[in-house]
Amino acid sequence: MTMTVAEATRILTAADSPFAVEIRDIRGIPTRCWVKAPNNLIDLLEGSKGYGDRTFLVFEDERLTFQEHYQRVASFASALQGMGVGKGDRVVIAMRNYPDWVITFWATVALGAIAVPLNAWWTGPELEYGVSDSGAKVLVLDDERTERLLPHMEELFNQVNFTVIHTRTPTRVVDQIPSGIDHFEFGSLVGDLDAVMPAVEVDSDDDVTIFYTSGTTGKPKGAVATHRNLGSNLINAFFVATRAGMLAKERAEAKGLTLPESSPAQKAYLLSVPLFHATGCFAVMIPNMVAGAKLVMMYRWNPERALELIERESITSFGGVPAMVWQVLNSPDFDKRDTTSVENIGYGGAPSAPELVRRIKQHFPTGSPSNGYGMTETCAIATMNVGDDYVRKPDSAGPPVPISEAKVVDALGSELPVNMPGELWMKGANVVRGYWNKPEATASTFSEGWLHTGDIAFIDEEGFIHIVDRAKDMLIRGGENIYSVEIESAIFENPAVADVAVIGIPDLVLGEEVCAIVQRRAGFELSEDEVRSHVAERLANFKVPKYVYFRDDELPRNAAGKILKRQLRDEVIDIEVNKA
């Protein structure tokens, strides 16, 4: 009889175990917590010094050791403190995946301030909203984000008094920053070798990050995470890895097999997802720093470059969203590169096909596939399905981690029985406390500690969660949550549009693609490219519809006036299938 996931969980969460669980009162709500979760992220930063000259960050030809990273964080934190940044102040980070991003994050954390990563794909108006909504005291921007914000900077400064710190930005862009706004070059603030990390006391329930999620009303919502939330997610990551190792060993021994010993060499993770996503920051960057692993960063995603880095840096783990794994497997360079160092291929953030699991097992014989479920509001890891269990149940996101309670409810909030689909609710020490400056959205999404995920799911007899649909009008393209209403609102601004519906169309690589079905006003002309250009002027590129269809008749609606999007989706899929 092989060991089950439930049995492994019981063993690992025993009272005397490193993964013991207890109930604590958090903001008046009994909540499942790890007994030995870190008190705050500052302690984790201090602990990272112990890895000394081991390589931490790799970007192109740049390399930083753990000691060099720590010293730059101390220097930058001291500089921020000199600018008046203190406990509870917000620091915006808007840049692509540079080492500067990681340094800025930890310097902000070290001051007890709140890191506010903004989506680097956002347009100028979207970035302006993030700065204004968060009330940021400092903006740390790379060249592209500085350029996008320039047209909005003067008016924004009249609302929010901030300092700009620019990195990797040419003089021609810096010279355009409006007079009166203090600005500094990032490199000039991180070189103080004598800087000492500021001494700041923080509580487990102090706020530490605001990560923006797409908003159902067209405006993103800032999910506020505490030190406890992120410390809990860290232990979630370590627990999942430990349980997977235990199960693999026990099951191999039950078959009379012996698993190869894991290499004692430093682990190396290929960071292929943005750090402004919960996955990149919470599930990859923080756990890898704490574990002393090497984090290899990419300028932009490219499967051929990823394979080159896997070989060059002896990458042991990579992933992101299923689309990225597909692209690596389908790359013409795959057979030309040495990928034998890979031990783990993890992904989430988009639906995945059982065929992907088979392909991973075929082409990465030493690699273990995994898929999980989480949201910005759960600080990434809420469930995980790994190894043989994932092969056995490839359509499941796995069971909840031990501190996560999960239930499926009907429209009245009553819990449903096993295998009955309904809305998934989750609760635990990894669930954020609410949304920044949005009490109504907080009240409608969280109740007595329970997060209403908006996803339709069922829980099977083994406690594995299966996501089957989304209650919210949302699609997921390449791991990016996209709310239809945001794109619909943008398209409605065009005077030629009488009605519009935005839906998701299945895509093998990205999971879903954006499709807009438009009814033109009588007497108006409007082309597909004009719709795309109209959206591109207002929203980030990943929200621009790939497919645009026009209808002469009214869009189908039910008796309550709601557009029948499932019907439209079926119609469009039929059209695309017939084209193929």
Distance between CA 178 and CA 451 in Å, rounded?
42
Sort 158 into a burial class: Cβ within 10 Å, 0-12 / 13-18 / 19+: exposed
Sequence-distant (6+) residues with CB within 8 A of 411 are none
Provide the total of helices (H) and of strands (E) in the chain, helices listed first.
18, 28
From the number of C-beta atoms within 10 Å of its C-beta (0-12, 13-18, 19+), residue 411 rates as exposed
Does residue 340 sit within a domain?
A: yes
* Same domain? 196 vs 236: no
> Do 68 and 17 reside in the same domain of the chain?
no
Nearest CA to 53 among 270, 294, 313? 294
| In the predicted structure, residue 260 carries a pLDDT above the cut 80 | no
564 and 447 in a common domain: no
Pick the residue with more confidence: 561 or 265?
265
Q: What is the residue type of 502?
A: V
CA distance 206 to 580: 54
* pLDDT attached to residue 561: 57
Whether 295 and 400 share a structural domain: yes
Same domain, 449 and 490: no
CATH code, domain carrying 175: 3.40.50.980
pLDDT of residue 351: 55
| Total domains in the fold of the chain | 3
Query: Exposed e or buried b for every residue in 111-131, given b needs 16+ CB within 10 A?
Result: bbbbbbbbbbbbbbebbbbbb
Q: Determine, yes or no, domain membership for 410.
A: yes
Q: What are the tokens at 281?
A: 């920051």
Give the pLDDT confidence score for residue 297 in this predicted structure. 98
560: in domain: yes
If phi > 0 it is left, if psi is from -120 to 50 it is alpha, else beta; for residue 511 that is left
Q: Are residues 272 and 414 in the same domain?
A: yes
CATH number of the domain bearing residue 559: 3.30.300.30
Q: Are strands 138-142 and 90-94 parallel, antiparallel or unpaired?
A: parallel
pLDDT band of residue 218 (cuts 50, 70, 90) is: low
Here the contacts of 325-330 (C-beta below 8 Å, separation 24 or greater) are 325/356, 325/360, 326/356, 326/508, 326/509, 327/303, 327/509, 328/303, 329/359, 329/360, 329/363, 330/303
The alpha carbon of residue 307 and the mean position of all alpha carbons in its chain are separated, in whole angstroms, by 22
Residue 398: inside a domain: yes
Domain that holds residue 83: 64-202
For the stretch 232-269, what's the b/e string if a residue is b when 16 or more beta carbons lie within 10 angstroms of its beta carbon? bbbbbbbbbbbbbbbbeeebeeeeeeeeeeeeeeebbb
CA neighbor of 524 nearest in space, from 543, 552, 560: 552
Domain check: are 451 and 556 in the same one? no
Q: Which pLDDT score is estimated for 559?
A: 55
Within 297-395, where are the H helices?
303-312, 322-330, 354-363, 387-392
Amino acid letter for position 11: I
Q: What per-residue confidence (pLDDT) applies to 194?
A: 95
Torsion of CA 431, 433, 435, 441, to 10 degrees: 90
151 and 14 both lie in a single domain? no
> What pLDDT score was predicted for residue 1?
66
Please indicate, yes or no, whether residues 123 and 90 belong to a single structural domain of this protein.
yes
Last residue of a domain, one of 202, 218, 249: 202
In a domain, 350, yes or no: yes
Asked if residues 403 and 410 have their Cβ atoms less than 8 Å apart, the reply is no
β pairing state of 434-435 and 114-117: unpaired
Q: What is the DSSP letter of 454?
A: E
Contact present, 70 and 47 (Cβ < 8 Å): no
Q: What is the pLDDT of residues 3-56, one digit of tens each?
A: 999 999 999 999 999 999 999 999 999 999 999 999 999 999 999 999 999 999
Domain edge (last residue) among 418, 435, 470: 470
Pairing of strands 138-142, 114-117: unpaired
Residue 548 has pLDDT above 70, yes or no: yes
| pLDDT 10s digits, 280-335 | 999 999 999 999 999 999 998 889 999 999 999 999 999 877 767 888 888 889 99
Q: Is pLDDT of 216 > 70?
A: no
Q: Name which of 95-99, 392-396, 421-425 the model is least confident about.
A: 392-396
Domain stop point among 470, 493, 508: 470
pLDDT (average), residues 428-448: 96
3-state helix/strand/coil string of 259-279: CCCCCCCCCEEEECCCCCCHH
Does residue 303 lie within any of the structural domains?
yes
> What is the predicted pLDDT for the residue at 391?
83
